[in-house]
Amino acid sequence: MSDIAITGLLVLSLFLILGSGVWIGLTLSGVAWIGMQLFAARPAGDAMAVTIWGSASSWTLTALPLFIWMGEILFRTRLSQDMFKGLAPWVQSLPGRLLHTNVVGCTIFAAVSGSSAATCATIGKMTLPELTRRGYPEKMVVGTLAGASTLGLLIPPSIIMIVYGVSAEVSISQLFIAGVFPGILLAALFSGYIMVWALRNPDQVPAADKKMTFMEKLSESRSLIPVVLLIVAVLGSIYTGFATATEAAAVGVVGSLVLSTVQGSMSWSTFRDSLMGATRLYCMIALILAGAAFLTLSMGYIGLPRHLAEWIASLGLNKAQLIAALAVFFIILGCFLDGISMVVLTMGVLMPTVQAAGIDPIWFGIFIVLVVEMAQITPPVGFNLFVLQGMTNRQLPWIAKTAMPMFLLMCGAVALIYIFPGIVTWLPQQMATTR
């Protein structure tokens, strides 16, 4: 059979099995087994057992459940709720006022979470009722939250960066460092949009609360200290070389447990719920990763990645055209798959082509995270849209429409990191030279 026929058969199998309601991880394993059984000489059962065990027992992957658990602890304790109280006084004087709490809150929480869905749910739980009660337009409240919560994927620690690092065999610590400036850039773009909107629609922005002195603002900000300490402990231990990403994740879990206990918001039920929530989420991700690893092996035996790379090379695309084509490809793919599935499904096929084109794998990792962020707010499979639908009881198309300006800003961010790649690569290079 030709490569096109084999690819078509596997893609058809993938969508048929997914459409029947089978879990994504099992679907990927099933498609891989079909490919191995029909088009490869190696026994499918032996290959599946070895590959799934190898991917599930990866030491690098240990950071993933720990970061997820840290996010779950923060989500269920008062540490996250105190953030709004600490942030509000500082944004009152900006155009758009308290709408900026969505952006700043998501930026801060992203630095201790790693999940955009967790960031959306946690910050939304604080800001949605408060901003709506104060009279801010619902479309701006929901839209800015939808966009800003995707920072949970870009600002380290990031679950998707760990998945990419494992799949593409790239340093996770370097990826974490590379995500800092792009994350700040995207947050600045979101806040800039809020300011422009507020200046054009001053009548829709509620009046500011009573003015506070600088010392009063500092007093209100005391509630931010625990979260800031946690960020410093996690990211500081990575950037100084004191800890690996996995060890920093353990530091984050212990720190969040200690802080929430000292604060008095940790109970046995909270501890149990956070642990079970993290276990369920990690098991889902691990199953997807295992299935994708087997699918990557299967495609390797069939020869599809090599043939795809040769086909793309034969098109004669320059670097800019390749990046633009991949951006469109991932945005379309994001309409049907979640971010983790997108990464693990495609890296085995795309990395040889990306490396042949001379694209820095660290830069490409941040590019992937940005386009996966876009997928979080594109229907029909936009995880953040689902979270917001559950919190607002609004229809999915309405939420997606409110998030469209944020989607366009993300497209602008992709263009900026392509034109100025140093936004991504400068900090990892500096950290590498100082060690």
Digit-coded pLDDT (tens) for 17-53: 877 877 777 887 888 888 888 877 777 777 888 887 8
Whole-number CA gyration radius for the chain: 22
Most confident stretch, 176-185, 223-232, 336-345: 176-185
Cis amide prior to 397 (ω within 30 degrees): no
Q: Is residue 23 part of a domain?
A: no
User: How many domains, in total, are found in the chain?
Assistant: 1
Kindly state the DSSP code that residue 315 receives in the 8-state scheme: T
Most confident stretch, 88-97, 182-191, 323-332: 182-191
> Is 174:362 a contact under the CB 8 Å cutoff?
yes
- For residue 375, name the pLDDT band (cuts at 50, 70, 90): confident
Q: Is residue 153 part of a domain?
A: yes
Q: Is residue 7 part of a domain?
A: no
- According to the model, what pLDDT value does residue 190 have? 95
Most confident stretch, 60-69, 163-172, 207-216, 341-350: 163-172
Q: Is residue 17 part of a domain?
A: no
- According to the model, what pLDDT value does residue 183 have? 92
Average pLDDT in the chain: 81
- According to the model, what pLDDT value does residue 366 have? 94
Q: Is 76 exposed, middle or buried (0-12, 13-18, 19+ CB in 10 A)?
A: buried
> Is 139:92 a contact under the CB 8 Å cutoff?
no
Q: Is residue 74 part of a domain?
A: yes
Q: Is residue 39 part of a domain?
A: no
pLDDT in tens, 218-273: 777 777 788 788 878 887 887 777 877 778 888 888 988 988 888 888 889 989 99
- According to the model, what pLDDT value does residue 67 have? 77
Question: Look-up: residue for tokens 């991504």?
Answer: 424
pLDDT in tens, 124-141: 877 888 788 888 899 999
- The domain of 418 spans 59-434
Q: How many CB atoms lie within 10 A of CB 37?
A: 12
Q: Is residue 406 part of a domain?
A: yes
pLDDT in tens, 100-112: 988 988 888 787 7
- According to the model, what pLDDT value does residue 251 have? 87
Q: Is residue 22 part of a domain?
A: no
Kindly state the DSSP code that residue 207 receives in the 8-state scheme: P
Single pTM value for the model: 0.75
